[in-house]
A = this chain, B = another copy of it.
């Protein structure tokens, strides 16, 4: 670049080569992967942490508002739990089913930062990860991004308070931007929530604080193959890595893929309206939970938390607890040598823009067990019945432990054949390459959070093989 003022527009390639090297490096300079479980366990011992279920009435500082029945904190901060009424009118040409449902939903309008700091040691990029307790995690302690900060956190931080390492992500001294994009969170549980997903390369020295460790991408890939180690916030940030494309072709050119997404958005006529939580049709409030009258979907519960390593050492809060283990999977096929995954254009009531691309399968099977065969979700049985030799990836991961209790899903990537997953799939489904997912995830609201987890897992299955 001969100019002192200008930069090359495309920096992804420079980064992607360096990330490939990190992915191929199974041994980090700071902590061998074999020692990781003991390191994490030690962080758990140092930071005592206890979570107990309590009756909703024992929530401290939280209350159900008189007229709406919405659950909110007296400070007006954190989040509220309200009602949502979703209607989807009939299909594009008047031939689809009419859907209409009510549900509780979490409203948390502020945009937080999920950020991973990276830095080169011995010529290899390492990722600064944090052992972080979240009350909803089944094992409490998981590996989180360097920074997980709400807006109140980091604007306060700007005035001198302490979100550790936040200065690398905002303000004049921040590092070199690798990725920075607003991504949606769970559209079935949150109302239009998005967080800023950031990857930043540090400038200068970075002190290593307690509860943090530097890991290569190869190490993280190995941990992504274990159950409940890499938390959701880490997975979504990792999905935004500029991985180098492996092929220049695909079943659908990019213009056709964008057109398909646009068409899916245009054909779904969805309206989501916030309504009072009180009297929400189909939902009942008991001492210990708000639950659906059929016992399906999820419940709203309360917990009391006692922790050592948090700014506030004890608190109570509501959490959403899904009913049963989810199954979240990409079916995959290779066409003319190029692997593809089958994405599903999903409507979730809380999405900002109607539809995002989700995995082939994203269901809690128990919610559908009562349905007759022909109404069962497409592709679900294929995933449930797949023989082990066709599973390319499998691990149990949990969703955001700050809002969701024991929200575990089995994440899979499963080989399929023409009979199970045809080249010409049903409406609402399309075959895309992982390269195309990486291209889309640079922008917000294309991939839902479950698809982003699977993209991070797909990349992890390739780590070390480059």
Contacts and interface: CB of A to CB of B under 8 A. Distances in A.
A152 to B, nearest CB: 11
Contacts of A248: 8-10
A179 B259 CA distance: 7
A182 B155 CA distance: 33
A60 to B, nearest CB: 27
A38 B11 CA distance: 51
B182 A93 contact: no
A336 B155 contact: no
Interface string A1-28: 1011111111110000000000000000
A6 B251 contact: yes
A462 interface: no
A9 B258 contact: no
Copies of this chain, tallied across the complex:
2
Contact of A180 (B5, B113, B263, B423): B263
B252 A7 contact: yes
A71 B109 CA distance: 30
Given A177-B259, A443-B443, A5 B254 contact: no
Interface in A190-204: 196, 198
Interface of A: 1, 3-12, 92-94, 109-111, 113, 151, 155, 158-159, 170, 177-182, 196, 198, 248-256, 258-259, 262-263, 265-266, 269, 271, 335-338, 352-353, 423, 433, 435-436, 442-445
Given A8-B248, A353-B444, 10 more contacts: A3-B336, A4-B336, A6-B335, A8-B249, A9-B248, A9-B433, A93-B158, A94-B155, A177-B255, A180-B255
